[in-house]
Amino acid sequence: MTCRDWPTRANALTLVRLLLAPPLAAAILGGEPRAAALVLALAVATDLADGPLARRLGEASPLGALVDHAVDATFVAVGSAALAAQGAVTAVLPALIAAAFAQYALDPGAADAGPRASTLGRWNGIGYYALLAAPLLRDALRLGWPGPGLVSGLAWLLVASTLFSMLGRLRARWS
């Protein structure tokens, strides 16, 4: 893929998700759960649409997949950092999300053939979005569940599973 090939409709959706990260953080930090939930819903919609659109239009590429993952990691790291600033989740998580993505992106051949995703890594990615959704939807809809302890527990579970995934990737690389 050349720079000339980069402007595609699928990549435009990915870019929208990247541009939604600052408004997500602002809404979380500003105590606007409905706005934050709306931003999250838009981001999830772009994430669900960009890959299938790229494949349907013949725009899929290893670089596009890598950028999609980078934007996902950025979005959830920014959102979880905002939650951490409020004390809702551990501040360890956003740093680990960034470190896990860096390790993933530095996988040999990542830009050429696309990084190799693990099953645990895929589930972690879903978990990061679910972690954002849990308190945002709870507060936007004025629900009592999940409570702060459950949200914090989910964050710590993601810390553990992210570390486990990173160790597995290191082990596979050095084997």
pLDDT, one tens digit per residue, over 69-89 is 999 999 999 999 999 999 999
Domains of the chain by residue range = 3-174
pLDDT, average across residues 43-65: 90
Structure tokens given for 95: 């740093």
pLDDT, residue 1, reads 47
The correct answer on CATH 2.60.40 for the domain covering 3-174 is no
